[in-house]
Amino acid sequence: MTDDAGPTVDTDGSRSRAEESDPAIEARGLTYTYPDGTVAVSDLDVTVRAGERLALLGPNGAGKSTLLQLLGGVLDPDAGTRRYFGVDVSPDDVRDRLSVLTQDPSDYLFNPTVREDLEYGPAQLDVPAAEADARVACLAERLGLADLLDRPPFRLSGGQQRRAALASALTVEPDVLCLDEPVSNVDAANRATVLDLLAGLHADGTTLVVSTPDTELVPAVADRVLLLATDGTVAATGPTREILTDRPLLERCNLAPPRVVELFDEVGADDVPLTLVEAVARLNETDVQF
């Protein structure tokens, strides 16, 4: 099934790392079968444009995490091809430009201290020590990890581990960041911190691919959605607003729309908001019609 790349993210026209129209990842015919014979992904075509924010949305078991890892090069497909930044190269050839954060923080946290985990990526890329230290300090401050740098990772809470793993993935300053449920187990205050950081990265030109079953999260992390059905096929792809306001489509994929969408849809509102902030703005307008 083919995924139309659709419109790219609205920007001011500037890109610090890549041109807006360039493909960051092009995948064709991706197929992957688990060892037990279950087909997770079957003949999928996906294009991720440089600088866009793409959500891989679907119910549990739809193959979102597998597809994310295939796109990010963590897994090799049984069939299909992948191109990165317009070139036929392997994922290993672009590790300095591509980071993948899986659901398991231990994939990134395996050194004696958090500091050493954050230093690991830059060291593999021969980043000068002074620059690596600056990156670690900046990310630790932004993600609330400054007081945790000298702790063993296993002494951190689940949410702290998620933030530390994210910081570790970011120390290489990737062009493309693939995230599997990035705010899972993260409390409300730190969730806002993570989302603000991702927004800042996107504003600077970083391409984001986020896998999630959470329709409430999608408006904060994506401008385009690739919706997976329960059998791992592509049910639809399009702008975030178009997908999240199509209740019958979401329900066919065993998903509920964001609660604010349900509320405004139930009362027959026009121009349904996706978030609470949008909803408040609608209600403050004098011409809101219900």
pLDDT tens digits for range 55-68: 999 999 899 999 99
Distance CA 38, CA 80 (A): 17
Q: What percent of the chain has pLDDT over 70?
A: 91
pLDDT at 23: 92
150, 78, 89, 96: which is closest to 118 by C-alpha? 150
Q: Where are the domains of the chain?
A: 1-93+204-250, 258-290
> What mean pLDDT comes out for the span 97-110?
91
pLDDT band at residue 232 under the 50/70/90 scheme: confident
Q: To the nearest whole number, what is the mean pLDDT of the chain?
A: 88
The class that CATH gives domain 1-93+204-250 is: alpha beta
> What mean pLDDT comes out for the span 192-218?
94
Sequential DSSP letters for 189-235: HHHHHHHHHHHHHHHTT-EEEEEES-TTTHHHH-SEEEEE-TTSSEE
pLDDT single digits (tens) 127-163: 999 999 999 999 999 999 999 999 999 999 988 999 9
Tell me the whole-structure pTM to 2 decimals. Answer: 0.87
Q: Which amino acid is at 31?
A: T
Look at residue 114 and tell me whether its pLDDT is greater than 80. yes
283, 258, 286: which is closest to 269 by C-alpha? 283
Residue whose structure tokens are 């230093």: 119
228, 253, 208, 178: which is closest to 40 by C-alpha? 228
Sequential DSSP letters for 220-283: HH-SEEEEE-TTSSEEEEEEHHHHHT-HHHHHHTT----HHHHHHHHTT-SS--SSHHHHHHHH
> What mean pLDDT comes out for the span 175-180?
96
Residues 221 and 210 sit within 8 Å (Cβ to Cβ): yes
Look at residue 221 and tell me whether its pLDDT is greater than 60. yes
pLDDT at 286: 53
The order of strands in the sheet holding 79-84 is: 39-49, 23-33, 79-84
Residues 32 and 40 sit within 8 Å (Cβ to Cβ): yes
pLDDT at 9: 33
Residue 185: CB atoms within 10 A of its CB come to 16
Distance CA 122, CA 279 (A): 43
Q: Which amino acid is at 33?
A: T
Give the residues across from 30 on adjacent strands: 44
Distance CA 77, CA 18 (A): 26
> What mean pLDDT comes out for the span 60-78?
94
Residue whose structure tokens are 């990134």: 108
Q: Which amino acid is at 214?
A: D
Question: 36: buried, middle or exposed (CB in 10 Å: 19+, 13-18, 0-12)?
Answer: exposed
Distance CA 74, CA 104 (A): 13
Segment among 16-20, 49-53, 146-150 with least mean pLDDT: 16-20
Q: Which residues of 4-32 are buried (b: 16+ CB within 10 A; e: fewer)?
A: ebbebbeeeeebebbebeebbbbbbebbb
Distance CA 63, CA 235 (A): 12
